[in-house]
Structure 1
Amino acid sequence: MRKLTELSVDEIANFHSTLNQFSLGGEVKRMFRLYQGHLHETYVSEVRVGENTKKYLHQKINTTAFENPELMLSNIQRISKVLKMHPEREFSDSLTLIPTVDDEPYHSDGKLYWRTYNFVEDSISYDICPNDSKGYALGNATGEFLYLLSEMPCSEIYDYSPDFQDTFRRWSELQEALSQGVPERLQTSKCLYEEMRSFEEDALQIHKAVKGGKLRQQIIHGDTKTNNFLFRENSDEVLCLVDIDLCMPATPLYDIGDLLRSASAVGREDERDLSQVGVDSGIMEAVLRGFLSSRFELTDAEKSLLSFAGFTVSFNLTARFLADYLRGDVYFPVTRPNHNLERALAQWRVTTCLHSFRYVIEDLVASAPHC
């Protein structure tokens, strides 16, 4: 769910100089901080336009994660253009950048970068997938998104973070963090790392297939977690898939894997009571059925490795959380001393659950109508 906190009049005044740079068509009357995601600072404004009120979404881009935001924004414009060629889906609606008064796609004062989108009205997102029907819709929307971008040449976008989901990269970064990390955190990380090592061979299956040229590369979303899908309120209809900052050339297995990891997970991302963390097999199967019923067709090589997709992406995220903990919490925002370790432990619980469901996934793929 979106978490909105209204700003005071004085707080809104601090944003006037920035908001005035965009062609909003009226005066900002209310403004809210939107708490969702780890990266960008996000706000929603209500603007009086004549007798009507229009909402916009504003983001201060995280230039630590995106050192060249101009390239990321250029990717968004190119991908939005392709999606708009397919009016049968509404994926492009939320991706239209509102221009500045100088007709630029973003505003920058040399240090800070801001962008503005139309706010998608009558929509809702979920941090945790609430039921099987929503899971089916999520899977289908992911397949449709991949289908719409399947003919777009990978060379048309800048690969902002090469090998972002690659297990060899994330595993190597974790090993580096173990050798150079905060000394007092090494001992608390040792048990988890040793357990991860026992799954290393399976976690590297997709990496090996990619490097061996067995899996195609296409433009993928790169961040298909559950709350990046907007549903129509009181409906199972997915209106759009948002946050395309990480669109990249990669195997499409990473997108369905990330969705399986996110949508089927039970419990909060940072749940400390691991007995409350796991995988909902019903939602997992619904996500897969929705994905396999989309217009996106898997290759034989992709089908053979689909059962590793969710496990692999979850393994990678565990490694990222643990590496950040060892480095002293430099990437993911934290609110308590062991926050990233708690995230890593919870994610690892999801990882091992997904690993145990590999054969269930294989059976589903084998029985799918067009597989």
Structure 2
Amino acid sequence: MNPVTREQRDEAIAHFRYEGTLVKDCPYGSGHINDTFLLVFEIAEMGRIKVILQRMNSTAFPKPVEVMENITGVTSFLKKKIIENGGDPERETLNVIPAVDGKPYYIDSTGDYWRSYKFITDASTYDLVEKPEQFYESAVAFGNFQSLLSDYPAETLHETIEKFHDTRNRFALFKKAVEEDVMGRAASVEKEIRFVLEREEIANCFAEMLDRHELPLRVTHNDTKLNNVMLDDKTGKGICVIDLDTVMPGLAMNDFGDSIRFGASTALEDETDLTKVSCSMELFELYTKGFLKGCDGKLTAKEIELMPMGAKTMTFECGMRFLTDYLQGDKYFRIHREGHNLDRCRTQFKLVEDMEQKWYTMNEIVKKYSNN
């Protein structure tokens, strides 16, 4: 997408239901997908209020209207639940500011889509865990997200990214990439290819259970990283789950698993020294405890039992996607060096192996907190 021009931003600002006089607007945040701006308005006797304005990335999200329908449906539902529970809907969920025509988005004269949210005050996001309590609080927040939305009709949500966490389909795409071998790289990664092919049962596990209607479809976030939870500046508690672009029908175990894949790893996602890569059982236990506390009994016994499988599946899927992209010429994930996707794939596969070795421990930890 082209950079946002001053004219574009001014046009967008003029087409949302803002009050007061604009006194400041500047780029905001560390996100790489949407273009985000912080606006500050002066309102006569009320002082200043902050809002977020975003240009949506139509390359990453080719169906922006469906994305916004999912977001408004989920946030309206959350607002009612939060009020019922005596919470603060202004801080505990995203609040969409409508455009002048009442829609939750504005299409500018160049065809780009914009949206706006109320700014959540006195809370911060963190890209990296600075202390274990933050990881725990993010777990409680994502578990609470599951709990609050446990009776939302997930099947009514749009699948805005088709087959996003369909691991069986990802496996089929991987095999196709190996067969086509468009870059002539397959021979040099035979070990990694064999690693995937030997674990086809991981790819099929959840899909087959869904086929047999053994798992409930849930509202899932699908990007459960620490930086998608706002933590209160005073209490440190997780107060609001943000970045709802990937909210879709899915499996609770996958949301749990993706958090573990990223947050419980002892190394960066592209670490080249594989001796540094393992799944920390301390962090796994901390997150399990927080997630189940947040879920507040809303998951089925089968979903809880399969949480370790969620961690292994999401890690396996991610490694498989990195390897697929490497075989296809690094078209999807942005790389910063030769073989970057291969390094990423190897860290994920090392984590899968480590989980396999710690499988008994992981299951015992989940059992420990499943009855709390």
Superposition TM-score, scaled by structure 2 size: 0.87
C-alpha change, 1:248 and 1:41, in structure 2 (3 Å) is closer
Q: Which moved more, 1:62-71 or 1:126-135?
A: 126-135
- Note if contact 2:288-2:369 (Cα within 8 Å) is conserved in structure 1: no
Indicate the SS of the match to 1:288: helix
Could you tell me whether the CA contact under 8 Å between 2:279 and 2:355 is conserved in 1? yes
Equivalence for 2:215: 215
Query: Structure 1 residues 306 and 12, CA, compared in 2 at 3 Å: closer, same or farther?
Result: same
Task: Write the letter of the residue equivalent to 1:175.
Answer: K
Amino acid at match of 1:95: L
Letter aligned with residue 16 of structure 1 = D
Q: TM-score, normalised by structure 1?
A: 0.87
Aligned 8 A contact 2:305 2:367 in 1: no
Deviation at 1:81, TM superposition (A): 0.8
Change (3 A) 1:13 1:66: closer
Give the superposition deviation at 1:188.
4.4
1:122–1:186: structure 2 CA closer, same or farther, 3 Å change rule?
farther
Deviation at 1:350, TM superposition (A): 2.8
**2:52 is the counterpart of 1:57:** yes
Q: Deviations over 1:34-93 (max 9, x none)?
A: 3235xx223232323147443332332222232221111111111011100122455774
Q: List aligned pairs for 1:5-20, cutoff 5 A.
A: 15-20=9-14
- Judging changes above 3 Å, is the alpha-carbon distance between structure 1 residues 357 and 117 closer, same or farther for their aligned structure 2 residues? farther
Partner in structure 2 of residue 281 of structure 1: 281
Within 1, Cα distance between the matches of 2:88 and 2:162?
28
SS of corresponding position for 2:243: coil
- 1:362 paired residue number: 363
Does structure 1 retain, via aligned residues, the 8 Å contact 2:39–2:52?
no
Shift of 1:14: 5.8
Q: Which ranges in structure 2 are unaligned for 5 or more consecutive residues? A: none
Q: Distance in 1 between matches of 2:89 and 2:183?
A: 46
- Mark the CA change 1:185 to 1:116 in structure 2 (over 3 Å): closer, same or farther: farther
CA distance in 1, matches of 2:334, 2:50: 27
Alpha-carbon shift at residue 107 of structure 1 (Å): 1.5
Q: 2: distance between equivalents of 1:317 and 1:90? A: 36
> 1:315 offset after TM fit, Å?
0.9
How far the C-alpha of 1:312 sits from its partner, in A, is 0.6
Percent identical residues: 27
How many correspondences in the alignment? Answer: 361
| CA shift digits 1:195-227 (9 cap, x unpaired) | 222333244322322222211112222221222
Residue of structure 2 aligned with 1:45, choices 31, 38, 51: 38
> Where do 1:1-371 residues align within 5 Å?
15-25=9-19, 26-27=21-22, 29-37=24-32, 40-50=33-43, 52-87=47-82, 88=85, 89=87, 93=91, 94-109=93-108, 111-233=111-233, 235-294=235-294, 295-368=296-369, 370=371
Q: Kindly state the Cα deviation for residue 12 of structure 1 after the two structures are TM-superposed.
A: 5.0
Equivalent pair of 2:25/2:40 in contact (CA under 8 Å): yes
List 4+ stretches of structure 1 deviating above 6 A: none
Contact 2:135 2:226 survives alignment (8 Å):
no
The answer to whether the Cα contact below 8 Å between 1:83 and 1:92 also exists between their aligned partners in 2 is: no
SS across alignment from 2:219: strand
1:3 — aligned with what? none
1-structure distance, mates of 2:178, 2:54:
34
Going from structure 1 to structure 2, the CA distance change for 1:357 and 1:158 (only over 3 Å counts) comes to same
Partner Cα distance (2:370, 2:279) in 1: 25
Shift of 1:178: 2.2
Q: CA deviation at 1:181?
A: 4.7
Moved more, 200-209 or 144-153: 200-209
Contact 1:203 1:308 in 2 (8 A): no
> Residue 289 and residue 20 in structure 1: after superposition, are their counterparts in 2 closer, same or farther (change >3 A)?
same
Seen in structure 2, the aligned counterparts of structure 1 residues 53 and 188 have a Cα distance that, compared at 3 Å, is farther
C-alpha displacement of 1:310: 0.6
Letter in 1 for 2:169: R
List runs of 5+ in structure 1 lacking aligned partners. 1-6
RMSD of the alignment, in Å? 2.7
> What amino acid is the match of 1:43?
T
Deviation at 1:29, TM superposition (A): 2.1
Could you say if the C-alpha distance between residues 356 and 210 of structure 1 is closer, same or farther in structure 2, counting changes exceeding 3 Å?
A: farther
CA-CA distance at 1:28 after TM superposition? 5.1
CA distance in 1, matches of 2:116, 2:28: 14
